[in-house]
Amino acid sequence: MLTRVKGDPMGSVFIFVLLMAFWLLISASADWQHIVVGSIFSLILTVFWSNLTIAAEFRTEFTLKQVYLLIKYFIALLVEVILANITVAMIVLNPRLPISPGMVIMRCDLERSLIRVLYVNSITLCPGTITVELEDNLLIVHAFTRHYGEDQENSAQYRRLLELEETYKK
C-alpha cells in the first residue's frame, strides 16, 4: 500500500530552480525586472505543485554528489553533441559520402527510469544517431555509420550514468 505525504521540500526547490532557469532562458535577459517577474511566477507554480499529495516513494531526494555528476554529465553531453555535429558534417561533405547506416542492438543495464530516459534522449540528441526502441534491457539505435552506432555501447556518457545510478543504491 502506498503511503501518501503532503509536499516535497527538495522537489519544490528543484522545480523552482528549473522554472527560473527556463524563464531566464526564454526571456533572454537577466535584468532585475525579468528576474523579479520570473521569481514570482516560479514561486506561484512551485506553491501549487508543492500542495499535491504524492506517494512517499516518489519524493525527490538527491545528494550533492548526484548534482555534481549530473552537471558533469551535461557538460560532457554538450561536448559530445558538438563533436558529433563535426563528425556528421565531415561525413556529409566528403565527396565519397562514407555512410553505412545500420541498426545496432545493445544492452542497457540502467535500472532507474529517469536515468534510462536521459541516456536514450542523449543518444538521440547527438547527430547521426536515433534511439528507435528501448524495451527491457535492450536498446535499438539507428546510426549514420555502423561504427558510430557501435561506439554508443561503450560510451563515456553511459559510464557516467552508471556511476550516477550507483549513488542511488547506497
Q: How far apart are CA 160 and CA 119, in angstroms?
A: 10
Range list of H helices, 109-154:
113-125, 146-151
Claim to verify: residue 36 and residue 108 sit in the same structural domain: no
Domain that holds residue 13: 4-58
- Taking residues 42-59, report their average pLDDT: 72
pLDDT above 70 covers a percentage of the chain that reads: 85
Report the 10 Å Cβ neighbour count for 154.
Answer: 9
Q: Are 124 and 81 contacting, i.e. CB atoms less than 8 angstroms apart?
A: no
Claim to verify: residue 46 and residue 125 sit in the same structural domain: no
- Kindly tell me if the per-residue pLDDT of 4 is higher than 70: no
User: What cell was used for 68?
Assistant: 555534481
Claim to verify: residue 111 and residue 163 sit in the same structural domain: yes
Claim to verify: residue 73 and residue 133 sit in the same structural domain: yes
DSSP per-residue codes, 79-92: HHHHHHHHHHHHHH
- Taking residues 111-129, report their average pLDDT: 86
Q: Considering all CA atoms of the chain, what is the largest pairwise distance in Å, rounded to the nearest integer?
A: 63
CATH assignment at residue 156: 3.30.70
- Taking residues 47-70, report their average pLDDT: 72
- Higher per-residue pLDDT: 1 or 134: 134
Tens of pLDDT, residue by residue over 71-97, are 899 999 999 899 989 988 988 898 888
Claim to verify: residue 99 and residue 121 sit in the same structural domain: yes
- Kindly tell me if the per-residue pLDDT of 15 is higher than 50: yes
